[in-house]
Amino acid sequence: MSRCVQSSGRMLIVSAACLTLSACITSRIEDAREGMTGIEGDEAVVILAKSYHLGNETEDKYINCIEDALARGSKGLRVIPHKQFVDSLFPWFEPRTAPAETKGLPKLMGRPGVAERIADQNVRYIIWLDGDTDRVAGGGSLSCAAGPGGGGCFGFAWWTNDADYNASVWDLKGLESAGTVTADVSGTSFLPALVIPIPLIARARAAACKGLAQQLRTFIVDDPGV
């Protein structure tokens, strides 16, 4: 009987913890427009990471996530997979050779076969991603033990991840910058443990992906001048 009461007590505490604690996410998505945008139905976009030669550490996972999010849905954009685009234009979009500024676009387009290859794929916008997700703070302590009668954990841990990304949109029609979209997401995760650890994870990178993709779609499709 007492065992049952003890077990119910634990469940109650765990449930209370679940209800009172939840992961926190704060996000700020902004854009800065430099020119008119818009996209035709058969035109495509490409998502690329800025060069790691310049210290950029944008994760492959994040690029794939943005590609999927932009292409998804009935109003999805036509997205050319970044590997396919880079291979088709080898060696002009390699980390070492890719243009760092729109100033380099006319010269790039003048190289043999480049303009034709881009036109074949009907790429209208190149979106350059810069940034990464870092753990910026953390604390608490959690210990686990196991014995012949069973095991369990006790304690509390927390950490904060900061996902900070910047997307520069280049318009290949006018060979100019269309503007930038930024996502700054901070997420604090908690891990309370009372016998069983209950992870309350704040997915900062996923939130930054969703927010940036939504804003990018609005930025490219919607023209404020219309």
Partner 1 sequence: MRAKIRSLIGGALLAVLATGCGSHVTLDPPTIPTPLIDKMPLSIALRIPSEFEHFVHEDEVLGREHWTIDLGRSNAALFTQLLGFMFEEVTILGPDDDAGILSIDALIEPSIDAFEFSVPSQSKTDTYAVWIRYRVKVYDSAGDLFANWPLSAYGKSEQTGLTGEAPLKRAAVLAMRDAAALMIMNLDKSTAISSLKDRPAVAVSAAAQVEAEAEIEAETEAIAEEQAPQTPQRREVVLPPPGPVSGPAELSMGPDDDDHSGSVLEGKDDE
CB burial readout 183-200, b (16+ within 10 A) else e: bbbbbbbbbbbbeebeeb
Tally: H helices and E strands in the chain: 6, 6
In the complex, what is the shortest distance from the CB of residue 111 to partner 1, in angstroms, rounded to a whole number?
Answer: 7
Residue closer to partner 1, measured from CB, 48 or 220: 48
In the complex, what is the shortest distance from the CB of residue 84 to partner 1, in angstroms, rounded to a whole number?
Answer: 10
In the complex, what is the shortest distance from the CB of residue 91 to partner 1, in angstroms, rounded to a whole number?
Answer: 4
C-alpha distances in Å from residue 226, one per residue of 34, 102, 221, 222: 15, 25, 11, 8
Give the distance from CA 120 to its chain's centroid. Answer: 28
In the complex, what is the shortest distance from the CB of residue 104 to partner 1, in angstroms, rounded to a whole number?
Answer: 13
Q: Which residues bind partner 1 (CB under 8 A)?
A: 52-53, 57, 59-60, 87-92, 94-97, 111-114, 117
Is the peptide bond between 91 and the residue preceding it cis, with omega within 30 degrees of 0?
yes
In the complex, what is the shortest distance from the CB of residue 6 to partner 1, in angstroms, rounded to a whole number?
Answer: 31
Give the distance from CA 53 to its chain's centroid. Answer: 20
Q: Assign residue 201 a region: left if phi > 0, alpha if psi is -120 to 50, beta otherwise?
A: beta
Residue closer to partner 1, measured from CB, 47 or 220: 47
In the complex, what is the shortest distance from the CB of residue 15 to partner 1, in angstroms, rounded to a whole number?
Answer: 34
In the complex, what is the shortest distance from the CB of residue 202 to partner 1, in angstroms, rounded to a whole number?
Answer: 19
Residue closer to partner 1, measured from CB, 92 or 154: 92
Residue closer to partner 1, measured from CB, 73 or 112: 112
* 56: nearest Cα among 126, 105, 129: 129
Q: Which two tokens stand for residue 2?
A: 């007492």
Residue closer to partner 1, measured from CB, 88 or 215: 88
Residue closer to partner 1, measured from CB, 32 or 52: 52
Q: What is the CA radius of gyration of the chain?
A: 23
Residue closer to partner 1, measured from CB, 88 or 214: 88
If DSSP codes are grouped into helix, strand and coil, which group holds residue 217? helix
DSSP 13: H
